Structure 1
Amino acid sequence: MIDIAQHLKAIHREVGTGPAAGGGGEEVRVTLRRTYQAPVADVWDAITDPDRVRRWFYPVSGDLRPGGSFQLEGNAGGEIRHCEPPHRLTITFGGPTSVVDLTLSPGAGDDTELAFTHTVPIEMAGSGAGALFVGPGWDGALLGLALFLAGEVFEDPIAAAGSPEVQEFSRGSIDEWVAVVEASGTATADETEAGRQMALAQFAPGQS
């Protein structure tokens, strides 16, 4: 059984807007943080070793090195912009202006602090409500990683994402992201509700 409430609470979420790095307009930033009860080297290996990634996320292929590219089976692909083992990975995700930056830092004892930021141009996100297009999906990925590191391995992680438990987690995740967007002041009520409906249809269709 998945402790849904505990896993929802374990993720810190933020939404913000501001000037894009290096200029070129405004961007929307979605930030997640979570602590894992595993050493940095193990968490890094779990997110970069293709044989391990497929056991909690998606099968991945490509030229997996800085300057190379990757493709998640049935999902997005991108370029590997920066790789500094075992602490930092920067990639594009689904397009050159959609950038994911992930850092790992030692926590208390053997714990690992994971920080994850996904930025896109405001023109792509529309407003801070664009966080609802990606935030619940990243919550699901962080859940999958937590279960994997705890030794709960699914034969088919993609199929497991459709289970009633994970659907319930996704519904709770959407509620959390709606609250974060509302608190951020980066979207209107109508934009937030439209994002919520889209997120329900995409991430928790059995819970709408």
Structure 2
Amino acid sequence: MDNEETRLELRREYPDPIEDVWSALTESERTARWIGTWTGEGGVGNTIMLSMTAEEGSEPGPAVIRECDPPKRLVMDLHNTGEPTWRVELTLTPRADGTVLDFVHRMPKPEWDTSDIAKGWHFYLDRLGASLAGEPVPEWDGYTPPSLEA
């Protein structure tokens, strides 16, 4: 974190091969299982419309693809109405026993508490893990990130 931006960094390890995790992050029918669907044409510089299906009343929002290096790195700018642009960086690293996902969310220094944003990303990454494992995904009501459980 510096004076100009807030950086939220999360790391998750999944027992799945890097190609499978990449596909869960980039294919609309797979993203639908944990975060939402998207429409449009993928590719660097293109804008897709992301519908976050776990959020009631959420309208599709534009996401500009800034970097795409399959199956290792994806960077997107998420545009939220009335809020600054959020840059999301996903970096995958293969490991003998699966894949490590390094997630970085960069945003201009907000005037609000970012703990809800952090909880939201924990929620979505837990949903990603559950979808990869073929398990039911967590619901927001009653959700507590593992790092915050007593």
Where on the TM-score scale, by shorter chain, does this alignment land: which range? 0.7 to 0.9
Map 1:71-86; keep pairs closer than 5 Å: 71-73=49-51, 74=58, 75-86=60-71
Higher RCO structure, 1 or 2 (CA under 8 Å, sep 6+): 2
Which residue is equivalent to 1:152? 135
Gaps of 5+ in 2: 52-57
Aligned-pair Cα RMSD in Å = 2.2
Higher share of residues assigned strand: 2
Aligned length: 138
Larger Rg: 1
Q: Does 2:2 match 1:18?
A: yes
- Percent identical among aligned pairs is 34
Q: Does 2:83 match 1:92?
A: no
Q: Offset of 1:97 from its aligned partner?
A: 3.6
Structure 1 counterpart of 2:89, which letter? D
Structure 2 counterpart of 1:53, which letter? T
Gaps of 5+ in 1: 1-16, 20-25, 155-159, 177-208
Structure 2 counterpart of 1:18, which letter? D
Q: State the TM-score, normalized to the length of structure 1.
A: 0.60
Change (3 A) 1:104 1:67: same
Q: Offset of 1:77 from its aligned partner?
A: 2.6
Map 1:68-147; keep pairs closer than 5 Å: 68-73=46-51, 74=58, 75-94=60-79, 97-107=85-95, 109-122=96-109, 125-126=110-111, 129=113, 131-147=114-130
Which residue is equivalent to 1:41? 19
Mapped partners of 1:102, 1:175: distance in 2: 20
> For 1:122-181, what per-residue CA distance to the aligned partner results, in whole angstroms no more than 9, with x for missing partners?
1xx126x3x224111111111111111111256xxxxx62xxxx5222xx23983xxxxx
Which residue is equivalent to 1:10? none
Mapped partners of 1:40, 1:139: distance in 2: 20
Mapped partners of 1:174, 1:77: distance in 2: 30
Checking the alignment, whether the CA contact within 8 Å between 1:39 and 1:112 is kept in structure 2 is: yes
Mapped partners of 2:77, 2:36: distance in 1: 16
Map 1:126-205; keep pairs closer than 5 Å: 126=111, 129=113, 131-152=114-135, 161=139, 166-169=140-143, 172-173=144-145, 176=148
Q: Does 2:28 match 1:50?
A: yes
Which residue is equivalent to 2:55? none
